[in-house]
Structure 1
Amino acid sequence: MSELINNREYRQNMLKEVIKELHEGKTVEEVKGKFAKVIEGVSPTEISEMEQQLVKEGLPIEEIQNLCDVHAAVFKGSIEEIHHPEEVPGHPIYTLKKENEAINKYIEERAYPNLEKFKSEDSKENITNLIEDFNLLWDIDKHYSRKENLIFPYLEKYGVTAPPKVMWGVDDDIRSMIKDVKLTLMNYKGNKDEVINKIENTISQIKEMIFKEESILFPMSLDTLTEDEWISIYNESDEIGYAIVAPEVEWKLKRINIEGKEESKGEIEGGYIKFETGILSSKELNHILNSIPGDMTFIDKDDIVKYFSQGKERIFPRTKAVIGRSVQNCHPPASVHIVEKMLEDFKSGKKDNEDFWIKMGNIFVLIRYFAVRDNLGNYLGTLEFTQNIAPIQEIEGEKRLLSK
């Protein structure tokens, strides 16, 4: 047994050296040749543990993220297929894989041919076709959002934090690249080579992410999560939506009674809540909060997500898997420092609120954060309130009569 442990530790140390030497500037082929025997038969779990250890030793998530593509190239073809994703129609992993197939098929059958036409002639028609392609490829955002908001929280509960953070960062890079391609095409000024380069790089990144998901994330997740957790992921997937293709059938392992239990949980356990200015039942309070036109999320003094509203005008996806999760893990790595600085200011009393606003297509999103304190000024947590204020901005004059 000690020999197995030592061999495993040796390989783990050598795997870390692969990443470090790449970081120091060595080529993929140089590293792959040197460590060919070491990486033979590497499993997704070992790669996960390697990244986790690198983070613990102080290597920033951003550096692992920057090496992610090279990392994947080194291990491509060497990852042992010891965990086979479920091939049951309707299972969350089955659906994710089907989406990857549809995305890859669209790229091969539509995006690539349209790119070749553009290379031959940068006509208005060919530009329009590429814009349509990337409008459809933006659907990939739903695919990424489901794994970030549903699968990642469960992996974190088992101590698997580094791979999700790295992958989330790359997801955001791909989102940005798709937006950039669309913007460049819509404002095309004859910069043909630049457009071609951006499109090819974006498609390459999308394909690399498909490889990383199916070779590393999916097997690791299937090996880690329980059936009950997959059921929870299945039950909440519809809220976020699907990319290009929807689930073929309902997953047969879905437990119907779980949904009913969760829906009535507040009413059974809540009773009545007495406030300084009145009394409300848990049912009344729940529906009052869900009637407010905006999203509300509350994190406690320890930065743990404890509640979110489920109104009809939700802007950003929230799933029940987020409850009990550290708020730092609910944000992409690139924006975590902003969240931490804001919370630091709230906890110290330097600030009581902070506002942000962004444009998302036809909506104008106002995101407000409020420090929640008790009567003595002690910090209890932070309330986030998000609202589409575009309709409010359009208000003019006065309205004194009921709408018809």
Structure 2
Amino acid sequence: MTELLNNQDYRKEALKEIIRELHRGKSVEEVKARFNELIKDVAPAEISLMEQALINEGLPVEEVQRLCDVHAAVFKESLERAPQPETIPGHPVHTFKEENRALEDLMIREIQPLLAELRRANPDVEKDLAIKLAEKLNLLQDVNKHYSRKENLLFPYLEKYQIVGPPKVMWGVDDEIRDLLKEARDLAVNYVPDKKEELITRTEAALAKIKEMIFKEERILFPMALETLTEDEWYRIMLDSASIGYCLIEPREDWRPAQVKLDQKETVASEETRGYIKFATGILTPREISLIFDHLPVDITFVDKDNVVKYFSNTRERIFTRSRAVIGRRVENCHPPASVQVVEKLIADFKSGRKDREAFWLHLGDKYVFIQYFAVRDEKGDFAGTLEVTMDLKPLQAISGEKRIMD
């Protein structure tokens, strides 16, 4: 029996069966008892394999996502016994963990006491407390940078190693947290007394999910990633992190992996060695093409006919986060689960010829974002890829009258 329990395939099947039992309606306590009978210790990679296997077998990502908090609780005791990997200051995982400590401090020391005070407050002071809570929730929304680095820098490397399911599940939960925080903040900013309980409930739900996400990151995601990624890949993540930003704290120092020379910069071949590219309307060097794209007043992303991201322009102030890690990534893995179906349908319409373009517009902070998608076709009309063009319409909306001379 001991040999059987130590068999990795058997352990994986046992883990999958536990999740299926939860899905069929068994209680957490019943499942925990079976779990303790069958499996003594769980490695982070095994949970990843379990989630991936369930998705491969046809269980929708949303279903795995719905069970995410439940099976995290089921495995919590075993995972807490697992040794946590050592990290070095400046290493991306160390930075993620430092941010988690800052998030915990904000939630426990500042937001939770405010909620307790608001719950027992008299009506005449509730508004002031709600304003204070809104300020703290503004700070807590900084977690979006933490999640964005995880989704746009770490997840693409995991996908290279065929670890696709767990990132999708986690991204879906990240979006749930974003939504809860936005709802709670809006309730606090526009406080009315009859929404007091709803404000408290939404905020507490957001805090609970953030705490669970911290546990999942530190006991499942980060150990699995540390076992999988190379130092070069971690180094690239570190280099790209500043472009997205950090949550509540800044890394105190840079991480210097042993085999990467910091003074060795990526070199670009000279224009002479690269030559010119001839177009129907002129000739340009690759360097000139890159500069032109990077100076356009719009953001451009190109996805090829096989749904692989091939290029994005490096404009000074991008509206949506992009990093070099996205290159070579399948486009459906670049979007949260909630929007994947929209992306897939749009590209399918382009490929079939049903559509040649589509547009969306939305308010994003102080921007009014206009997103256009174009089917790129060759001279024969064959589909070659999808071009995304994004811009902020707000400055254009402010234009009035005429301007005929230079300032």
Partner letter of residue 156 of structure 2? P
Partner letter of residue 27 of structure 1? S
Answer yes or no: is 1:44 the counterpart of 2:49. no
Q: For the Cα contact (< 8 Å) 1:42–1:80, is it kept in 2? A: no
| Consecutive aligned runs of 4 or more in structure 1 exceeding 6 Å deviation | none
Q: For the Cα contact (< 8 Å) 2:256–2:262, is it kept in 1? A: no
How far does the alpha carbon of each residue in 1:309-353 deviate from its partner, in whole angstroms, 9 at most, with x for none?
Answer: 010120111000000000000000110000000000101111110
| TM superposition shift of 1:252 | 2.2
1:232 aligned partner = 236
| TM superposition shift of 1:281 | 1.1
Partner letter of residue 316 of structure 2? K
What secondary structure is seen at the aligned counterpart in 1 of 2:77?
A: coil
Superposed, 1:214-363 pairs within 5 Å as: 214-253=218-257, 255-258=261-264, 260-261=265-266, 264=268, 270-363=274-367
2:127 aligned partner = 124
CA gap of 1:342–1:158, structure 2 versus 1, over 3 A, is same
TM-score for both structures, normalised by structure 2: 0.95
CA gap of 1:145–1:66, structure 2 versus 1, over 3 A, is same
| TM superposition shift of 1:31 | 0.8
| TM superposition shift of 1:10 | 2.0
1:73 aligned partner = 73
| TM superposition shift of 1:402 | 1.0
2:383 aligned partner = 379
Answer yes or no: is 1:179 the counterpart of 2:182. yes
Cα distance in structure 1, aligned partners of 2:34 and 2:237: 41
CA gap of 1:41–1:362, structure 2 versus 1, over 3 A, is same
Cα distance in structure 2, aligned partners of 1:130 and 1:237: 29
Partner letter of residue 208 of structure 2? S
2:114 aligned partner = 114
Q: For the Cα contact (< 8 Å) 1:296–1:308, is it kept in 2? A: yes
1:168 aligned partner = 171
| TM superposition shift of 1:25 | 1.6
CA gap of 1:384–1:265, structure 2 versus 1, over 3 A, is farther
Cα distance in structure 2, aligned partners of 1:291 and 1:266: 20
CA gap of 1:142–1:26, structure 2 versus 1, over 3 A, is same
| TM superposition shift of 1:28 | 1.2
Partner letter of residue 331 of structure 1? H
How far does the alpha carbon of each residue in 1:277-299 deviate from its partner, in whole angstroms, 9 at most, with x for none?
Answer: 00111111111100011211001
2:215 aligned partner = 211
| TM superposition shift of 1:13 | 1.4
What secondary structure is seen at the aligned counterpart in 1 of 2:389?
A: strand
What secondary structure is seen at the aligned counterpart in 1 of 2:358?
A: strand
Superposed, 1:126-141 pairs within 5 Å as: 126-141=129-144
Cα distance in structure 2, aligned partners of 1:257 and 1:381: 37
Q: For the Cα contact (< 8 Å) 1:236–1:319, is it kept in 2? A: yes
1:16 aligned partner = 16
Q: For the Cα contact (< 8 Å) 1:83–1:219, is it kept in 2? A: no
CA gap of 1:31–1:267, structure 2 versus 1, over 3 A, is farther
| TM superposition shift of 1:6 | 7.5
How far does the alpha carbon of each residue in 1:223-270 deviate from its partner, in whole angstroms, 9 at most, with x for none?
Answer: 000011011111100100000001011112263245x215x2585864
Cα distance in structure 1, aligned partners of 2:241 and 2:334: 17
Q: For the Cα contact (< 8 Å) 1:266–1:282, is it kept in 2? A: no
Answer yes or no: is 1:101 the counterpart of 2:105. no
1:7 aligned partner = 7
* Structure 1, 71-80 or 147-156: larger mean CA deviation: 71-80
Cα distance in structure 2, aligned partners of 1:267 and 1:132: 51
Partner letter of residue 256 of structure 1? L
| TM superposition shift of 1:83 | 6.0
Answer yes or no: is 1:156 the counterpart of 2:159. yes
Structure 2's unaligned 5+ residue stretches are: none
Q: For the Cα contact (< 8 Å) 1:293–1:312, is it kept in 2? A: no
Q: For the Cα contact (< 8 Å) 2:153–2:325, is it kept in 1? A: yes
Partner letter of residue 212 of structure 1? K
Partner letter of residue 205 of structure 1? K
Cα distance in structure 2, aligned partners of 1:353 and 1:83: 52
**Corresponding pairs, count:** 400
| TM superposition shift of 1:5 | 8.9
1:193 aligned partner = 197
Partner letter of residue 177 of structure 1? L
Cα distance in structure 2, aligned partners of 1:327 and 1:130: 38
Cα distance in structure 2, aligned partners of 1:301 and 1:270: 26
Partner letter of residue 326 of structure 1? R
Aligned-residue sequence identity (percent) comes to: 53
Partner letter of residue 261 of structure 1? E
Q: For the Cα contact (< 8 Å) 1:359–1:365, is it kept in 2? A: yes
CA gap of 1:70–1:373, structure 2 versus 1, over 3 A, is same
- Quote the RMSD (CA, aligned, Å): 1.7
2:31 aligned partner = 31
TM-score for both structures, normalised by structure 1: 0.95
